[in-house]
Amino acid sequence: AYKRFSELLPKEERENACSARVPKSQILTLPELRANPFQHRICHVFSTSESGDDSMSFEDFLDMLSVFSDSATSDIKSHYAFRIFDFDEDGTLDRKDLEQLVNCLTGQGEESRLNSAEMEQLIQNILEESDIDKDGTINLSEFQHVVSRSPDFARWGGWGFIT
């Protein structure tokens, strides 16, 4: 992990990798993140940057690797998946978060984007399946409940991000 992290830094900064921050633009060059539709959210969620630039310290990088490792528990993976999918960071997945999530998964091109009726039906289906308290949103415990019923989630590793 240290070697991969330090290789993202300019040569002159590599000897001080433990105290350096890697810019988001460099983190996004990792093959595991390059084609990931949630790459920006992943950087944002794992970054502890006070400036809001989503750069990562070595500890941030280790946190990201550990969450996406095979040895991370389903609870840890689902907690971070929830944070990544909570685009407005309000602690719930509402219709806007779900729409952004679907758009990330289906791609940004016009040919792959769902029309408004299809989007509405899909969001309605997601809420019917997941919104246990019927408040129109999915909270963390509801999300974790749905994930616990999915045997593929544990094998999902880093949801294709980093394994």
Query: For residue 107, what pLDDT band results from cuts at 50, 70 and 90?
Result: confident
CATH of 73-162 among 1.10.238.10, 3.30.470.10, 2.40.50.140, 3.40.50.970: 1.10.238.10
CATH number of 1-69: 1.10.238.10
Domain boundaries, given as residue ranges, for the chain? 1-69, 73-162
Contact 13, 5 (CB under 8 A): no
State the pTM of this model. 0.88
One DSSP character per residue, 28-84 reads TTSHHHHT-TTHHHHHHHH---TTSS--EEHHHHHHHHHHTSTTS-HHHHHHHHHHH
Asked if the domains 1-69 and 73-162 are classified in one and the same CATH topology, the answer is yes
pLDDT in tens, 24-81: 999 999 998 998 999 999 999 999 999 999 999 999 999 999 998 989 998 999 999 9
